Chains A and B, each alone.
Chain A
Amino acid sequence: MNEGTSQYYFTASMDSGKTLCSLLKAIQFQETAVFCALAEGLKLTVEEGKCVQASAYVPSDNFTEYHVRDDVDVMFKISIAVLAECLNIFGSGEESSLKMYYRGEGSPLLLVLQPQSMHNVMTDCEISTQTADSVLELRDEDAAEVAKLVLKAPAFLGLLADLERSCDVIEINLSPDHPNVSIITYGMQDRSCIDMPKSSDMVQSFSCESPVTLRYQLHHIRLIMKALGISTKVVLRCSSNGLLLLQLKLEKEDQRQMFSEFYIVPLLDD
């Protein structure tokens, strides 16, 4: 196969597509994603309106084989739902080896999957691709970072899971003074407040120079929950313009890492 790879824009293989599949499912809140194969790794991005942008990023060292032609842009739109179902074709209990091929613009993404435990079966998939629109650039280079905190992902997930779903708005107060982090939700009649001092052992690092209050749609924040469920660590970065960036790290058994990141646009003040 090596001989022929040059005719493909992109080829990759890995021993098990299972973690990749969970990572895709974690950002699968929209039907289509922009699939982008970079020299450093594979990146899939989904957007909700112009409010949330989520990406899954798989560094190339997760693959046993990874080739991208350096003279072309490998970027196309694909159904992330179909891609995740195909990766999971033998079920979540099964580790299946995965090979990916992409011949060039307009051609489908080809997948070949073979379960590790059974040798008399294999699946091949042709997933159609479309030309990608550009991806939103939500980051404003001029906006300074006003706060950064690093949290343990499972504990943070526990906090988010306990928030009342019926609330529309989540308010995050960050301050150099105790309690440092305060998350407030407003329900129909009630108000709930979570205080988290930087001394908490779920806070791995905290930096914030002056108090800041940020408000987001709770629904948008909840989109990160699946990703939190498979990650070990989450970094929250707040810009002076209110844009929230969450970077999540997923650590695999083989010591390799995969990432997801979410940009969330703040609610405007009335």
Chain B
Amino acid sequence: MKFRAVMIDAGPMREFSNVVTIISKLSKECVLRLTDDKLYFIVSEENSGPTPPILWCEIPQAMFCSEYQMLGLDEEHKDIYLSFSSGNLARSLVILKTAKSLKMKLTKKQCPCLTLEIEMPSTTSQQTRQVTHDIPVTVIPRKLWTDFHEPRIPDPDISIELPPLKQLRTTIDRMRTMTSEVVIRASAEGRLTLQIRTDMAKVSTRFKGLRVEAFGGPIDHSDSETETQMNEDMSRVCYCRVDAKKLSMFLSAEQISTNRTVCSIVHRKLVILCLTTDESVKLQCFIGGIVY
């Protein structure tokens, strides 16, 4: 089993660091899957055994790496799956924002390690300095690989473009001080609403004029507790109640120079947030609906 990759361009290094930082905010542990053409970061729900991933991130190696070599177990099993602390990786990569190069490799130093060799410019002279981090990893055995397959998701009822993530996150964070759950509503007319309801207050923030990428309606509301709003055709509205903290954590992705972010909703069941960057990174987050 071998892996070696080198990054030398400032933009991709910065983005790589940002992506890892977001992953570290979402989960303490993550899985890195290495294949010939892509790196995948996969996060499963913590402490809940093998469940479908809650985060799925694809990074095309060619856009990021100037060198990329890997060798799996054998011809049948070409990939490598590593599990490690996402925080360890994120903290080690913070300095990538000013680094000259990053070399990643799989090493055996008393335990399997993902070794990062970062070349940093000196702040005071023309010299460079070499920073090496050995991050302990667990190599995931073949029989567990199936736990980390791309989740199969039902077709969403609606896909709608999100407003600027920073704005969205600020609002969610204010709502989060009042309650732990937030309802996301999206309508085929391009409206997105964040709603909370507590003993003290009902708050709803409405964005309008958003681009709807797909709508699979009409939506059946026969068994739900939806409040109708005036002049709204409910068959063209779907919603999902989710954990506000998870939503907020994903929205910290505002740091990434996003190309666009799309929110897809499977009515009452699932919210999928999908972010794509200029460097063709695809970051998907799956937040399960809370149903009473």
- Contact of B163 with A89 in the complex, beta carbons under 8 Å: no
11 other A-B residue contacts (CB within 8 Å) besides A91-B171, A127-B200: A82-B200, A88-B174, A89-B171, A90-B170, A91-B170, A120-B207, A121-B163, A121-B207, A124-B203, A126-B203, A128-B200
Kindly state the separation between the CA atoms of A267 and B39 in the bound complex, as whole angstroms: 66
Q: List 21 A-B contacts (CB under 8 A).
A: A82-B178, A82-B201, A85-B174, A85-B177, A85-B178, A89-B171, A91-B170, A108-B201, A118-B167, A120-B208, A120-B209, A121-B163, A121-B205, A123-B171, A123-B203, A124-B204, A124-B206, A125-B204, A126-B203, A127-B201, A128-B199
Interface residue count on the A side (C-beta < 8 Å): 21
Can you name the residue of chain A whose Cβ is closest to the Cβ of B208?
A: A120
Q: Give the contacts of A96-148 with B (CB-CB under 8 A).
A: 108, 118, 120-128
A12: Cβ under 8 A from any B Cβ: no
B152: Cβ under 8 A from any A Cβ: no
A79: Cβ under 8 A from any B Cβ: yes
Can you name the residue of chain B whose Cβ is closest to the Cβ of A79?
A: B200
Kindly state the separation between the CA atoms of A60 and B83 in the bound complex, as whole angstroms: 61
Q: Beyond A90-B171, A91-B170, is A122–B201 a contact (Cβ under 8 Å)?
A: no
Kindly state the separation between the CA atoms of A118 and B198 in the bound complex, as whole angstroms: 27
A86: Cβ under 8 A from any B Cβ: yes
- Contact of A89 with B174 in the complex, beta carbons under 8 Å: yes
B202: Cβ under 8 A from any A Cβ: yes
Kindly state the separation between the CA atoms of A149 and B207 in the bound complex, as whole angstroms: 50
Chain B 163-202, CB-CB to A under 8 Å as 1, else 0, gives: 1000100110011011000000000000000000011111
Can you name the residue of chain B whose Cβ is closest to the Cβ of A113?
A: B205
- Contact of B206 with A121 in the complex, beta carbons under 8 Å: yes
Q: Would you call the interface of chain B mostly helix, strand, loop, or mixed?
A: mixed
Kindly state the separation between the CA atoms of A94 and B204 in the bound complex, as whole angstroms: 17
Chain A 71-99, CB-CB to B under 8 Å as 1, else 0, gives: 00000000101100110111100100000
Kindly state the separation between the CA atoms of A88 and B170 in the bound complex, as whole angstroms: 9
Q: Give the contacts of A183-238 with B (CB-CB under 8 A).
A: none
Q: Lowest 9 CB-CB distances: which A-B pairs, in order?
A: A91-B170, A123-B205, A126-B202, A127-B201, A125-B203, A120-B209, A121-B207, A82-B200, A89-B174
- Contact of A86 with B201 in the complex, beta carbons under 8 Å: yes
Q: How many A-B Cβ pairs are below 8 Å?
A: 63
Q: Beyond A91-B170, A120-B208, A120-B209, is A86–B163 a contact (Cβ under 8 Å)?
A: no
- Contact of A121 with B167 in the complex, beta carbons under 8 Å: yes
Residues of chain A within 8 A of B207, CB atoms compared: 120-121
Of the listed residues B199, B205, B208, B209, the one surrounded by the most CB atoms of chain A closer than 10 A to its CB is B205
Kindly state the separation between the CA atoms of A79 and B206 in the bound complex, as whole angstroms: 23
Of the listed residues B170, B175, B178, B203, the one surrounded by the most CB atoms of chain A closer than 10 A to its CB is B203
Residues of chain A within 8 A of B204, CB atoms compared: 123-125
Residues of chain A within 8 A of B198, CB atoms compared: 82
Kindly state the separation between the CA atoms of A127 and B204 in the bound complex, as whole angstroms: 12
Residues of chain B within 8 A of A126, CB atoms compared: 201-203
Can you name the residue of chain A whose Cβ is closest to the Cβ of B196?
A: A125
Min distance, Cβ A22 to any Cβ of chain B, angstroms = 15
Residues of chain B within 8 A of A88, CB atoms compared: 174
Instruction: Identify which of B203, B209, B210 contacts A89 (C-beta below 8 A).
Output: B203
Instruction: Identify which of A122, A127, A128 contacts B206 (C-beta below 8 A).
Output: A122
Residues of chain A within 8 A of B167, CB atoms compared: 90-91, 118, 121
Kindly state the separation between the CA atoms of A82 and B202 in the bound complex, as whole angstroms: 10
- Contact of B202 with A125 in the complex, beta carbons under 8 Å: yes
Kindly state the separation between the CA atoms of A88 and B163 in the bound complex, as whole angstroms: 18
Kindly state the separation between the CA atoms of A79 and B200 in the bound complex, as whole angstroms: 7
Min distance, Cβ B110 to any Cβ of chain A, angstroms = 47
Kindly state the separation between the CA atoms of A88 and B173 in the bound complex, as whole angstroms: 10
Min distance, Cβ B25 to any Cβ of chain A, angstroms = 19
Residues of chain B within 8 A of A108, CB atoms compared: 201-202
Min distance, Cβ B196 to any Cβ of chain A, angstroms = 10
Can you name the residue of chain B whose Cβ is closest to the Cβ of A31?
A: B200
Residues of chain B within 8 A of A91, CB atoms compared: 167, 170-171, 174
Kindly state the separation between the CA atoms of A94 and B174 in the bound complex, as whole angstroms: 13
Kindly state the separation between the CA atoms of A123 and B210 in the bound complex, as whole angstroms: 16
Kindly state the separation between the CA atoms of A176 and B211 in the bound complex, as whole angstroms: 71
Kindly state the separation between the CA atoms of A124 and B229 in the bound complex, as whole angstroms: 13
